[in-house]
Chains A and B, each alone.
Chain A
Amino acid sequence: MFSPVVIKMIVRGLGETLYMTLLSTALAYVLGLPLGVILVITEKDGLCPNIYLNKILNVVINLTRSVPFLILLVAVLPLTRAIVGTTIGSSATVVPLVIAAAPFIARLVESSLKEVDIGVIEAAQSMGANPKEIIYKVLLPEALPSLIVGAAIAVTTILSYSAMAGFVGGGGLGTIAINYGYHRYQKDIMFITVALLVIVVQVLQEIGMKLAAVFDKRK
């Protein structure tokens, strides 16, 4: 059906998409996870209340989240060039992806951590645990199943963002779909790339759900 050249291109695109998505997710968690923790503990009734820091973080996160991804992508081009040395290709796309995903992940982490029963935290405090011990031994482990579900949501969202980056030569399946399907009307190539994206989302989502179930000891 397709020439070996096209097949090779699609396989490479799939690889690039996975590379962008997984690397961006990992890096975005490096930023987003601590941010989420800080959001929760600096709340008024949190472990280390700090209303000002909390307000500032909230504003920054909301600002970043309200910029449409495509615009953010273009807006951070100078930064991307400074970090990666180029503005096209999959490595260059990782920069805006991380910037867009980190605040989103911070919110996901925040809501997961807020699910932890306040009574359990109080019990840990009554045993003389300090805030650091409560974060590492209570908040994060108790929220683990929910954090994993959040990660599945994050990774699939980042995947769809990465496809959007195809419009500005971001690499991966998104670029192929746009170059061939949109600019050259080769519907079959566009269809196969979209189908692949759907499958990748399904697989990632499924893995996340399975992992969450394995780590959930609450039932």
Chain B
Amino acid sequence: MKNKEPIIRLLNLSKTFRGADNEVKALEDITLDIYAGEIFGIIGMSGAGKSTLVRCINFLEKPTKGTVIFDGQDLSTLTRSELYKVRQSMGMIFQQFNLLMQRTALGNICFPLEIAGWKKTEAEARAKELLELVGMADKADAYPAQLSGGQQQRVAIARALATNPKVLLCDEATSALDPSTTRGVLTLLKDINKRLGITIVVITHEMSVIEEICQRVTIIDNGRIAETGNVEEIFTKPKSVAARRLVFPEDKKIEQLMGSRCCRIVFDGNSSFEPIIATMVLEFRHTVNILFADTKNIDGQAFGQIVIQLPEAKSVADRMIGYLRSKGLTVEEVDGYV
């Protein structure tokens, strides 16, 4: 990958939004090379500036400072009509799909071709070809409102690919989709990258998306690049705080998830001595914190008590109490663990 020419070069890019009486620095001093043919990830928490960054790549947002070089051209030196032309070689897909609601799937894919000046019959033939590519050939005449989220995103991908772009920008493209649909869309993106050799830039806040399809990744934190590198490297040896926060989110999670409610479970010989807390945790997929435990196994019967701290979510906590009671245990809520 390294010996290839970068197709997108960002040099000292900054973007500041000016409000009525305040300034928001969305991006600061971003320098980044994205190579032709790779799948490149940009990850960060929401508000980190990644959506602004991707919009700077196709100049939907004009950077306040710095340079964007796409395929050897400095975008800031282009005239408006040259910029419109360049955008035709950069496809983009969005979190909310952004299809034209008044056009069919086929009509949506024809749209960029119309803009690029294709003849109607040729555009339709090309659109059909693309519907085939994204596995939506039977939905050519369906309107977006009749399609599921995953199907809409497939149409949007087909539309973004219509003019044979060199780069596909994906702005949180799977964030509005459920996990299995997400997998389908990611597989499609990977497949397109392999078959067409198109460079894909993936913006996401989900580590799993990066893990699934990206080769290299940059981590954006507070408008700055925290770390850039191969996905494996960053996953195994995150150096920056922001990277560590993304890779090992568990550090914080447990604290956040534990609630303030505690309950005392009394084993008075009515239940058999089985790993009841562990079973419950496995069943509910929520952890509890054991604050105090003193139980004995007497002839296969459990005696004693355990105090646990319940999860934050009220519904889960309530269901856990119900579960324990159904096992013949006496459960009472307590303030602390004494």
Nearest A residue to B101, CB-CB:
A218
Whether A130 contacts B60 by the Cβ 8 Å rule is no
Whether A126 contacts B102 by the Cβ 8 Å rule is no
Whether B102 contacts A144 by the Cβ 8 Å rule is yes
Checking A119, A128, A144 against B88 with a beta-carbon cut-off of 8 angstroms, the contacting residue is A128
Q: Which residues of B contact A218 (CB under 8 A)?
A: 101-102, 143, 145
Show 30 A/B contacts (Cβ-Cβ < 8 Å), sorted by A: A117-B96, A117-B98, A119-B94, A119-B98, A122-B60, A122-B94, A123-B94, A123-B98, A123-B156, A125-B60, A126-B87, A126-B90, A127-B88, A127-B159, A127-B163, A128-B84, A133-B115, A137-B111, A137-B114, A138-B100, A141-B103, A142-B100, A142-B101, A142-B102, A144-B102, A215-B102, A217-B103, A217-B143, A218-B101, A218-B143
- Extra inter-chain contacts (5) besides given A122-B60, A124-B115, A144-B102, CB under 8 Å: A119-B94, A123-B98, A128-B88, A142-B100, A218-B102
B58 is an interface residue with CB less than 8 A from chain A: yes
Nearest B residue to A119, CB-CB:
B98
Instruction: Determine the interface band of chain B, counting residues with CB < 8 A from chain A.
Output: 20 to 34
Whether A141 contacts B100 by the Cβ 8 Å rule is yes
Q: Which residues of A contact B86 (CB under 8 A)?
A: 128
Q: What is B's interface to A at a CB cutoff of 8 Å? A: 58, 60, 80-81, 83-88, 90-92, 94, 96, 98-103, 111-112, 114-116, 143, 145, 156, 159-160, 163, 169
Give min CB distance, B68 to chain A, whole Å. Answer: 14
Chain A at the B interface: SS class: helix
A219 is an interface residue with CB less than 8 A from chain B: yes
Given A123-B94, A217-B102: A128 in contact with B112 (beta carbons within 8 A): yes
Instruction: Determine the interface band of chain A, counting residues with CB < 8 A from chain B.
Output: 20 to 34
Whether B100 contacts A127 by the Cβ 8 Å rule is no
A129 is an interface residue with CB less than 8 A from chain B: yes
Q: Which residues of A contact B116 (CB under 8 A)?
A: 128
Q: Which residues of A contact B81 (CB under 8 A)?
A: 130
Nearest B residue to A125, CB-CB:
B60
